[in-house]
Amino acid sequence: MKLAVIGYPIHHSKSPFMHNTWLQECGLKGSYEAFEVSPDQLREQVVDFEKENFTGYNVTIPHKENIIQYLDEIDASAAELGAVNTVVIRNGKSYGYNTDGHGFLKSLLTKRTAQEVKSSDILIVGAGGAAKGIAGSLHSFGAEKISIANRTVTKADQLIESHGLTGDSMDLAAAQEQIGRFDIIINTTSQGMYPHIHQEALDASEMKAGSLAADIIYNPLKTQYLKKAEAAGADILNGVGMFVFQGALAFEKWTDREPDTASMINKITQDMNQE
């Protein structure tokens, strides 16, 4: 079984470590490798994977949206989001899926009950591919109030409209002013990701105590945003859970096996702590 992840750059990815561990634990023969693929090589790479009988692959930044045009079919949720992070190859044809939003939701439910998620005043920071996936999954799950903050408000407006959300769209300055209002704030931007660890999309120091700050970044484990939120008395959730759960959903599509997510979250957390 041949599996892969494609991105540009890709050297930082923990996906090969995670999936190769799972293959071993499930007693499956195969390997999972990282391929650095520039945007102009994308089409060729999709064809190569089909020719070389790969079972499937993950897709990361910056290819999640562009890859759609080269696939044979995409499922309804990936089509709605306009982003694919998982490809399954069957009989020489490529099928696209998106497991990001569902992966985040599973991670969030380790910190909040279903009822708490549904009744929370939620703010998503950012309006890109990850924000679309997370907003879609939360909305489908039954979250009643989801607002979007983005540098460009028109993108936030579009996301609110396309998903039929009942919250507000706002720029980052407005979100900063209202930060104490929200029960859950989710950073989906790359602000604070290694090596730019001192950046933050929002200053979380005025979040209300007992609220939840979530970040989809897992390198570093605790971004500037999460540190400030924690100091303000908020609960925090880093991106390791989302990364592992979205990976597990992809792994199940390729292998029909359910991998051990709990031990993987611990392994990746330990691994990141040692770096």
Residue 241 counted as an annotated binding residue: no
**Which listed residue (64, 106, 132, 228) is catalytic?**
64
Residue 106 counted as an annotated binding residue: no
Residue 66 counted as an annotated binding residue: no
Strand-pairing partners, residue 58, are: 5, 86
Residue 204 counted as an annotated binding residue: no
Residue 135 counted as an annotated binding residue: no
- Residue 219: half-sphere exposure toward Cβ, Cα within 13 Å: 12
Cα-based distances in Å from 73 to 13, 56, 89, 187, 204? 26, 14, 10, 30, 41
Residue 150 counted as an annotated binding residue: yes
The Cβ of residue 51 has, within 10 Å, a number of other Cβ atoms equal to: 9
Residue 233 counted as an annotated binding residue: no
Q: What are the two backbone dihedrals, phi and then psi, of residue 140, each rounded to the nearest 5 degrees? A: -60, -35
Residue 164 counted as an annotated binding residue: no
Inter-residue contact 241 to 217 (CB < 8 Å): no
Inter-residue contact 234 to 207 (CB < 8 Å): yes
Residue 216 counted as an annotated binding residue: yes
Residue 246 counted as an annotated binding residue: yes
Cα-based distances in Å from 86 to 114, 159, 188, 226? 26, 22, 19, 28
**Catalytic residue flag (residue 64):** yes
- CA atoms 127, 200, 85, 240: torsion sign: negative
Indicate which residues carry an active-site annotation. Answer: 64
Annotated binding site for shikimate: 13-15, 60, 85, 100, 218, 246
Annotated binding site: 13-15, 60, 85, 100, 126-130, 150-155, 216, 218, 239, 246
Annotated binding site for NADP(+): 126-130, 150-155, 216, 239
